[in-house]
Amino acid sequence: MTRFALTVIRHGETRLNKEKIIQGQGIDEPLSETGFKQAAAAGIFLKDVKFTHVFSSDLKRTKQTVHGILEKNKFCKDVTVKYDSRLRERKYGAAEGRPLSELRAMAKAVGEECPAFTPPGGETLDQLKMRGKDFFEFLCQLILKEASQNEQFSQDSPSSCLESSLAEIFPLGKNCASTFNSDSGAPGLAASVLVVSHGAYMRSLLDYFLTDLRCSFPATLSRSELTSVSPNTGMTVFILNFEKGGEGKPTAQCVCVNLQGHLAGCLEEGTCNFHSIFVWQYVIFKKSSKEAC
């Protein structure tokens, strides 16, 4: 059995996020002042978490965010970030650089709605989902290959430290005791992976986990809540479990969706004022479904 943790974080705010301008892939906007504060807040929140692998989209807003996170981390300052174009935001084609209201108007003009509408030159939702699936399968094969080269983990090995560092800030234990706790006899984590990406990409990845992997989420959450766009630097955490041999799809358990508690210290009117609700020990972000930028 091979288990690993996957923490996925949206980039910090940009000026165009605040102005509701579509960025996609073609508009490579840097973080705003608030965005840098959000990245630093995320880094402080994650400062004691030991990540073995770090991946990021190769766009400027994600590069700046992952840098802001890692410079606060006690264990990852020397970790090499791997930039991967498969983690880029959805491509919006002709809508990039234009207000979100115009994208909605374009969709309405042809009898469609966002986010299903694909603007000219843009990427369909299916294409976006396949891009996310391709990266995830690559990641799984990487972790399985590395795990097979290592000795069997013992309870006192670094793998148990990976899990305990996550458990300090994420609800790994109480609701998932039979799956995650050391008392269950499950092996320690083979890896703890950090991925920094984008809003629409993360929403698509959640859909893949929900529909293809049959990921376990809190039963009280609706599909619309699970497919809402993450706030800037919102965090979603999964535990993936491969049975012996690593054949087939992994079992996926979601720990939290769009966690945003770290933003409390950097609230600014009109920038970080998000509403969150707690369901058991899961944290989700509730807002109406809308396009990410």
Catalytic residue set: 11, 89
pTM of the model: 0.86
Which helix (H) or strand (E) element contains residue 138?
A: helix 125-148
Predicted pLDDT of residue 3: 93
Q: Which residues of the chain have pLDDT under 50?
A: 153-156, 174-183, 268-291
Predicted pLDDT of residue 172: 73
**CA-CA distance, 47 to 128, in Å (whole number)?**
31
Q: Which residues are annotated as a binding site for substrate?
A: 10-17, 61, 89-92
Q: Where are the domains of the chain?
A: 2-93+124-285
**CA-CA distance, 56 to 6, in Å (whole number)?**
13
The SS3 of residue 212 is coil
Predicted pLDDT of residue 265: 65
2-93+124-285 folds as Rossmann fold (3.40.50)
DSSP state at residue 95: G
Within 8 A by CB and 6+ apart from 231, the residues are: 10, 258, 260, 263, 272, 274, 285
Note the pLDDT tens digit of each residue in 73-93: 999 888 999 999 999 999 999
Predicted pLDDT of residue 173: 59
- With tokens 């396949």, the residue in question is 130
Any idea what the Cα angle at residue 62 is, between residues 56 and 46, rounded to 5°? 75
